[in-house]
Structure 1
Amino acid sequence: MAVDYATPSPSAPDTRFDYFWNQQGEWVEEPNVRRGGESGVQRLHSANGQLLYAKRQVGHTYRSLRHPMGRPTVLRERDALQSLAALGVGVPKLVFCGAQRDTQGQWRALLVTEALDGFQEIDQWYESHDRAHYGEALHEAILKQLADTLARMHKGRWQHSCLYAKHIFLRVVGEGAAARPEIATLDLEKCRQRFSAQSAARHDLKQLRRHSSFSDADWSKLLYFYKTAFGSPIKGLES
């Protein structure tokens, strides 16, 4: 029985896997059937009250040249979480990741992360009219912070691959002139490294443009900040 785990613990990996697997909470994303198996997300609480999200999978795998026989997608997501955190990209904190084969050889897999406390989807922030509350100076800082975050990810050759506005989360810390934005991204199940930073950037930015509600003016400003942070224009990308 193979176990792959993310964080050191005095407990054996098998014990930690069983502990999290046996926890039950509210379904945030009901299990759906895809990739030959099931995957869903539950909301849990740790012993100290910390809100957690547990992605639970059975037989839910992807195939690649490196893993032609299939590998649980949460392991790919774990790799992305760890790598992006090392690059300074805001992502949920990893609590545990594990994968086991049952007696029939089918994968069971878990990815447990801490909730992004105080964050909300960026579109929800716009819908709540917080832009008018904080003013344009803070909104410009948000666009710049988002651009810097994405450029940092892409310069590391990481492509999110599912960069919709609903996967970009925002938290504003402080009030008045002291207010500052923080950006995080999640749902990294399809995240992968590309051969070039340009390829990663071009794919994600085109996708974000299609799946976000930025006005033309806001998108142009975001793209300006992005090109400055990235250090060069992105071929094939229009404002």
Structure 2
Amino acid sequence: MKDFIASEEQRLLARHSLDSFEALWALQLEAVDEPNTERGGWSTVFRLELEDKAFYLKRQSNYLTHTLTHPLGEPTFSREFRNIQRYNELGIPALQAVFYAQRKVAGEQRALLLTRALDNWQDLDQLLPGWGVMPVAQRNAVLDACGLLARRLHASGQVHGCFYPKHIFLQARGEVYTAQLIDLEKTRPALWGDRDRVKDLEPLLRRAQVWTEADVQRFLSAYLGSSANMDHWLERLTRRRKTKAVSA
């Protein structure tokens, strides 16, 4: 895979001599969380601020995923980058890639992914604790934004695979909210129709336990549109939630 650099940020990175894999790999930064050390390697996230812009730089070594097309493994960032690009092509709101590259160095498979920070956005997980005291109009705007995001995702023939509150980022724009997705590593094409859609949506509803029945209906109304059978979808989602609870 060729190195990728977003044209909008190329000059900014060049001004700071950070427009190459080697420079971004060697850059000394403080990690924002503990490294992931699964899969026989490691993966770490750093925050990078340049002039008036902020980014997240993710670096990994031998942190691989194995698939039929890559039986020997490929960096998980490679898959995530492809999904970011696919979302962009399909018009699904999601995080934006600024730089991607991978290298083989002394037996290591290294990869790095630089994305724009979502500093003016708030994930749904942060909003849920105050849900009960949030004005009704604001709650409805959030529910509508989440439902419309899921609708666009599935209408584009994709399932997210981790459609959780912490992966849905929201931004207020007047009286409405807009929403986008992060963490696209597990995204894949929807192959099984409504079965895939139910499987994708149920984890969100299970984690958003503060949502009332009316909230769930509002979310589904935005997701389905006026012509869909609400009772049918509620029944399928409830049945899957009970199945997951039994198997937990």
Q: TM-score range by the shorter chain?
A: 0.7 to 0.9
Moved more, 122-131 or 148-157: 122-131
**Aligned to 2:199, what secondary structure does the other structure show?**
helix
**Aligned to 2:52, what secondary structure does the other structure show?**
coil
**Aligned to 1:33, what secondary structure does the other structure show?**
coil
Q: 1:143 is matched with which residue?
A: 143
Q: 1:226 is matched with which residue?
A: 223
Q: Which amino acid aligns with 1:34?
A: E
Aligned-pair identity in percent equals 32
1:101-140 superposed matches below 5 A: 101-104=104-107, 106-128=108-130, 132=134, 135-140=135-140
From the two aligned structures, give the one with the greater helix fraction.
Answer: 2
Deviation per CA, 1:74-105: give whole Å up to 9, x if none.
Answer: 1111111122223332212210111111122x
What TM-score comes out, normalization by structure 1 length? 0.83
Instruction: Tell me if 1:192 matches 2:196.
Output: no
Asked whether the 8 Å contact 1:5–1:99 carries over to 2, the reply is no
Q: Distance in 1 between matches of 2:90 and 2:238?
A: 27
Asked whether the 8 Å contact 1:154–1:197 carries over to 2, the reply is no
Moved more, 88-97 or 120-129: 120-129
Q: RCO higher in 1 or 2 (8 Å CA, sep ≥ 6)? A: 1
What TM-score comes out, normalization by structure 2 length? 0.80
- Count of residue pairs the alignment pairs up: 228
CA RMSD of aligned residues (A): 2.7
Q: 1:162 is matched with which residue?
A: 162
Deviation per CA, 1:102-151: give whole Å up to 9, x if none.
Answer: 122x210111101113111213224356963xx32332222122111111
Q: Distance in 2 between matches of 1:230 and 1:69?
A: 46
**Aligned to 1:162, what secondary structure does the other structure show?**
coil
Q: 1:55 is matched with which residue?
A: 58
Structure 1 ranges of 4+ moved more than 4 A: 8-11, 128-131, 229-235
Which segments of 5 or more consecutive residues in structure 2 lack a partner in the other structure? 240-248
Instruction: Tell me if 1:237 matches 2:233.
Output: no
Call closer, same or farther: CA 1:164–1:143 in 2, change over 3 Å.
Answer: same
**Aligned to 1:26, what secondary structure does the other structure show?**
coil
Call closer, same or farther: CA 1:67–1:169 in 2, change over 3 Å.
Answer: same
